[in-house]
Chains A and B, each alone.
Chain A
Amino acid sequence: MQTFSEETIKNISEANAESEFLLKERLNAFKNFNELSLENSEVFKKYTKHESYDLPEIKIGSAEIEFELPKVADNIGIILLPIAEALGDSNFKTILEKIFNNEDKFSAFTNAFFNSGYFLYIPNNIQLKVPIIFRTKIGTPSFSKNIILGGTNSKFTVLEKIESINNESSIHSIQLDIFAEEGAKIEHVFMQDLNLNTIEFLNRVSHTQKDSNVNFHSVIFGGQRIRARTNINLEKNGAIGKNFEIIFGKESQRFDSLSTVHSKSDFTKGESHSRGLFTGKSKALIKGLVRVESGAKKSDTYLTQHGMLLSKEASADTIPCLEILEEDVLRATHSASVSPIDDDQIFYLTSHGLEESDARKLIIQGFATTLLKNIDLKEIREDISNQLEKKIGEENV
């Protein structure tokens, strides 16, 4: 068994024959991990002051990642490498400098201990109509560092499916950085169905050049405790970034999600939308932060967080926060709510002949799927919609 220590980090680094530079970055990340608190923002600290994560001694494994690339991938210069190999490649030096930013405690955690992951590069002007699919099977605790780089005016979708292959207690930690060059449009869809004994740390960060667009979509079903951080960085003029998050909580699952939209330039557009369904004794904290820096003019930002409680013992809190340091904004708004199913909605459907249980399921399914229309590819929308229908059908709602 291994503990989360410097010694373990040195072992991982040695086993992968890594450069000194990388080992130094890992050790630095570990130092950051130990020093950082669970929340950086003062606004949210009070909600997690009693929180902690007990990290057990574990045997660090590596995730088994299967992938599907379009058939033409080789001919058009798509590069897909295991992360260890990519990090040794001097061609990607400029990116390397940005991916060890350990601002969040668990970004630092993954950066210190990662032992799997991928690097994907889609060249300039390549537009793909089929998704690139990664299927990750978690059997042992795993720490993945993934990087996606979309060249100028590239357009593509990455679908990432994560599931457990056993019922053992485990840790799944993932740090994903997406870099979009000028005019690139990248969709990342994350479907997670881990077992209910696994702790998940999910960190996603977008880095957007001029007129580029990175959208995150996530559907989270599994995990015992799920801590998700999504950072949308609108770095250059005209950048767009959106986050669409669907959470379906059951039994005693606990969710802690924070989505941040950060406008740093002019004419940026950022949105984050969360929809949560909670049954059993599940609990959720859904936080959202929009920050518009002084001098970032004409930004358009929007935050929505809505939770639906499907049992008396489930609970959820939505906490929106706007930090607008620039006066010249087009929009900076939010809406948030947590409530059971509306009686009038049930009545509308039952008065048209639907039995109450069918009416409830239809309302729940509708509530959860309102965000799916934002996914570009129909096959993915249908896949998620079917999954949701199946999961809702399994619960006594």
Chain B
Amino acid sequence: MATLEIKDLHVSVEGKEIIKGLDLTINQGELHALMGPNGSGKTSLAMTIMGHPKYKIDSGEILFDGQNISTLSPDKRARLGLFLAMQYPTEIPGVQYTTFLRAAYSALKEKVSVMEFKDILKEHLDAFKFPAEFLDRSLNEGFSGGEKKRAEILQLKILKPKFAVLDETDSGLDIDALKNVAESINEVANNELGMLLITHYQRILNYVHPQFVHVMIDGKIVKSGGEELAKELEEKGYENFLAMQ
């Protein structure tokens, strides 16, 4: 069973400590929600798990299936089965969405021809309500906020990782798009996938039901619990938790 274990993690960006001793264990098949106010270090944690070079691990470790992955390059982590849906997916002009996704599929799954990949995509496209010309557009360029997020979830469905971090995939979505994204998350959530759903608002948890909820304040997890914790947050806000740091 695949497990992601984060032990006493300290991370800094340009010399400033952002994550200040964080512990978290997520098993395959579990859905965890990580909630916290702006600036608490949620995105930094996501970037660190995936290996963005800007985020420097000062101490602690990240283990995936028992293997320390802290020094692995992002592509090696992806090949082990890690996946990150970014809060602000990067725009890459001139690289078609399909070209990118086929390259990712070929690197992570199996080498496929353009035609074979079109068939794989076709299965998912209708469900995502993407127009056909969407696939020929430059990666994330000129995508609306909702399209960017849905495009990330489409990748999750096609690349089928073992462990996924979804960084504020619910932000910037109108209610229909939010429901659509939540449905997709429920669809991919299964016994084989471990998921960390990072969110600022409780809203998405009306549709997606994590087994574990964690509250992150100032670089640390200050409280963990079940879904009731999210409800508590919704009612009382982060105020009470700020005192816990």
Contacts and interface: CB of A to CB of B under 8 A. Distances in A.
Interface in A166-223: none
Of the listed residues B53, B54, B99, B100, the one surrounded by the most CB atoms of chain A closer than 10 A to its CB is B100
Nearest to B78: A353
Contact of A363 (B53, B54, B86, B95): B95
Contact of A345 (B50, B83, B90, B155): B90
A7 interface: no
Interface stretch (B30-38, B101-109, B124-132, B183-191): B101-109
B145 interface: no
Contacts of A366: 92-95, 138-139
B78 to A, nearest CB: 4
A351 B53 CA distance: 11
A121 interface: no
Contacts of A352: 78, 83, 100, 103-104, 107-108, 155, 159
B89 interface: yes
Nearest to A351: B74
Interface in B48-96: 50-54, 73-75, 77-79, 83-84, 86, 89-90, 92-95
A360 B27 CA distance: 34
Interface in A332-356: 342-345, 347-356
Report the interface size class on chain B.
20 to 34
B75 A354 contact: yes
Contact of A370 (B50, B78, B94, B103): B94
B92 A349 contact: yes
A369 B99 CA distance: 13
Interface in B96-151: 99-100, 103-104, 107-108, 138-139
27 contacts: A342-B90, A347-B52, A349-B103, A349-B104, A350-B73, A350-B75, A350-B78, A351-B50, A351-B51, A351-B75, A352-B78, A353-B75, A353-B159, A355-B75, A356-B73, A358-B107, A359-B75, A362-B92, A362-B95, A362-B100, A363-B92, A363-B95, A366-B93, A366-B94, A366-B95, A369-B94, A370-B93
Interface of A: 342-345, 347-356, 358-359, 362-363, 365-370
